[in-house]
Amino acid sequence: MSVENTIGKARSKWMEGTGPDNDVVISSRLRLARNIEGYPFPHFMSEEEANHVINAVRLAVSEKAGAKFPVETEFIDLNELSQTERQILVEKHLVSPQHIESPANRAVVIAHDESLSIMVNEEDHIRIQCFLPGLQIKEAWRLADKIDDVLEKTLNYSFCEKRGYLTSCPTNVGTGLRASVMLHLPCLVMTKQLGAMVNTISQLGLAVRGYYGEGTEAYGDLFQVSNQVTMGQTEDEIVTNLLTVTRQIVSQERSTRKVVLKNNKPFLEDRIYRAFGVMSYARVMTAQEAIKNISDLRLGVELGILKTPAYDQINELIILTRPAFLIKKAGRPLNAGELDALRAEIIREKLSKITIN
């Protein structure tokens, strides 16, 4: 297992499509922000200091320091990767888009099953991120907590009794914890109920935003719900709050699906089979159109109208059709038209192997 493997394959642990409530919740993610005592925050430190931090983390995750992770990891210097390879890490959500903006003096530690990544010198010195399929925020917190303990054996964290873990931006100070779930909410969108729900959710200290697409437009009906407050609540309180609200959203989406299926079955079937038809035969497809069609296909499986493809195949399709993945596959730079053609080709190829009922 090497970097090449991580970049070459589309699958990560979170894409397995398993886990509780996997008919609505695609994945759960949790990150902890930590900084090392005695150094300025990354945006304000010298190259030399940045290198110290990288070396300190490299040591902390190595077996030499006695680090015993529950998963096997690999340390990757971002400078060793090409721009396309770095972009793939973003498309797989292993690093943030900000992390690869200036790859100098930055690194990432990635677990072999990709359930864990540690960004070094992003907005904070250390960002531990755990990523699991389905609704597993508590499990993600348990994993992150363990990793945090392992790192703390070697590293002196910036911590103050009153303010907790000190972070570069005051929006993360305290627990440094941001937990989020990726939800597929086609029926709440279709019935225009989501807007009202978003208002209520934001009153509970949580934020909702579209996963793909800008502003209020969310392609593929994929949404992310995350906590906003990181201080004054314990980690368990934050996690439980998000879990409770997510369960409510899940049950709303499910009951809406039942109603829509009962009253508008022909309309739904049409939408789902059309998506399948377009994906099976289209010759050119934009990223936006692909996400929309993949979402409709998923809806078909969620409603039981389609028996296949499995959730993991659908999740894989989402990642396979992102731009950097396509460029990697082509092995050369592609212009927009070539990208859209290759995307359509890959989708056709994947779907040709699937017989639907």
Give the footprint of other proteins on this chain (CB under 8 A): 35, 37, 39-41, 43-44, 123, 145, 148-149, 152-153, 156-166, 168-171, 173-175, 177, 205, 214-215, 228-235
CB of 205 to other proteins, least distance (A): 8
CB of 200 to other proteins, least distance (A): 18
CA distance 198 to 210: 11
Q: Which backbone phi and psi does 301 adopt, to 5 degrees?
A: -70, -40
- For other proteins, give the closer residue by CB, 76 or 231: 231
3 state DSSP class of 31: strand
Interior/surface letters 62-86, b for 16+ CB within 10 angstroms, e for the rest = eeebebebebebebbbbeebeebbb
Cis peptide upstream of residue 309 (ω within 30 degrees of 0): yes
Nearest distance in Å: CB 291, other proteins: 17
- In the bound state with other proteins, the residue whose beta carbon lies nearer, of 8 and 170, is 170
Q: Using N-to-C axis directions, what is the helix angle for 287-302 and 336-352, rounded to 10°?
A: 20
Residue with smaller CB distance to other proteins, 70 or 277: 70
Q: Helices (H) and strands (E) in the chain — how many of each?
A: 12, 10
Q: Are 229 and 261 in contact, with CB atoms under 8 Å apart?
A: no
Shortest distance in whole angstroms from residue 37 CB to other proteins: 7
Residue whose structure tokens are 């190595």 = 62
Q: How far is the CB of 238 from other proteins (least distance, A)?
A: 8
- Shortest distance, CB of residue 323 to other proteins, whole angstroms? 19
Q: Is 282 helix (H, G, I), strand (E, B) or coil?
A: coil
* Residue 75 vs 157, nearer CB to other proteins: 157
**Measured from the CB atom, is 79 or 234 closer to other proteins?**
234
The nearest distance, CB 330 to other proteins, in angstroms, is 28
Q: Minimum distance between the CB of residue 29 and other proteins, rounded to whole angstroms?
A: 18
Q: Are 57 and 126 within 8 A, CB to CB?
A: yes
CB 134 within 8 A of CB 182: no
Question: Which single residue is written with the structure tokens 């979170």?
Answer: 14
Which residue lies nearer to other proteins by CB, 231 or 347? 231
Cα-Cα-Cα-Cα dihedral sign, residues 350, 351, 352, 354: positive
Nearer Cβ to other proteins (215/333): 215
The residue (of 157 and 273) whose beta carbon lies closer to other proteins is: 157
d(CA 279, CA 344) in angstroms, rounded, equals: 7
Nearer to other proteins, 63 or 161 (CB): 161
* Strand order from edge to edge, sheet including 126-133: 73-77, 107-111, 116-120, 126-133, 25-34, 177-184, 222-227, 206-210
- Distance between CA atoms of residues 313 and 28, nearest Å: 18
Transcribe 164-230 into DSSP letters.
EE--SSTTSTBT-EEEEEEEE-HHHHHTT-HHHHHHHHHHTTEEEEESSSSTT--GGGEEEEEE---
Please, what is the minimum distance in Å from the beta carbon of residue 8 to other proteins?
33
